[in-house]
């Protein structure tokens, strides 16, 4: 169960760091591509994690 918490914390951290990078680099007129990559990775992690949670929760009621 702890692995799920770590997974979600990492996804949130990637998203926040990516947003901060985008804001800072945009303000300095630098390329924002690294920040965008972090945000995209975080969104992909959220989609995969939500799908995994849905599968796990749907399987909980099958045995009953």
pLDDT tens per residue, range 13-38: 999 999 999 999 999 999 999 999 99
Question: Where are the domains positioned within the chain?
Answer: 1-62
Q: Which range (8-17, 32-41, 49-58) has the least confidence? A: 49-58
Phi, psi of 61, deg, nearest 5: -95, -5
CA atoms in the 13 A half-sphere facing the CB of 56: 8
Query: In whole angstroms, how far apart are CA 22 and each of 27, 30, 31, 41, 57?
Result: 8, 9, 8, 14, 35
pTM across the whole model: 0.78
What is the reported pLDDT for 14? 93
Confidence category of residue 47, pLDDT binned at 50, 70, 90: very high
């Amino acid at each position: 169960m702890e692995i799920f918490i770590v997974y979600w914390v990492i996804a949130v951290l990637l998203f926040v760091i990516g947003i901060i990078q985008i804001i800072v680099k945009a303000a300095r007129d630098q390329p924002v591509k690294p920040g965008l990559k972090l945000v995209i990775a975080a969104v992909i992690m959220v989609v995969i994690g939500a799908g995994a949670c849905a599968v796990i929760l749907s399987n909980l009621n099958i045995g009953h």
